């Protein structure tokens, strides 16, 4: 990625979605994003667009499943 580019992502499903964009970044060869989704409100498949300076550079998806919480005994 070139010096000064802004990295971001947008995710969406039928009921949830959001987006995030960084400020200008230093040049880099590799990187990753991690983020939290509240599974109680966002169950299902989500489409993700990975952006550079607001333009879509890649697409992927993820699935949030409803699993019961298990309290420690």
Mean pLDDT of 2-25: 87
Residue 49, pLDDT > 90, answer: yes
pLDDT of residue 57: 93
Is 0.95 topped by the overall pTM? no
pLDDT of residue 56: 96
Residue 13, pLDDT > 90, answer: no
- Strand bridging mode 7-12 / 17-21: antiparallel
Residue extents of the structural domains in the chain = 7-64
Distance CA 62, CA 11 (A): 9
């Amino acid at each position: 990625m070139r010096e000064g580019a802004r990295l971001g992502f947008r995710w969406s499903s039928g009921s949830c979605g959001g987006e995030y964009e960084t400020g200008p970044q230093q040049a880099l060869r590799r990187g990753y994003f991690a983020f939290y989704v509240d599974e109680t409100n966002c169950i299902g498949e989500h489409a993700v667009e990975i952006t550079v300076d607001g333009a879509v550079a890649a697409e992927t998806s993820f699935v949030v499943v409803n699993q019961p919480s298990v309290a420690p005994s």
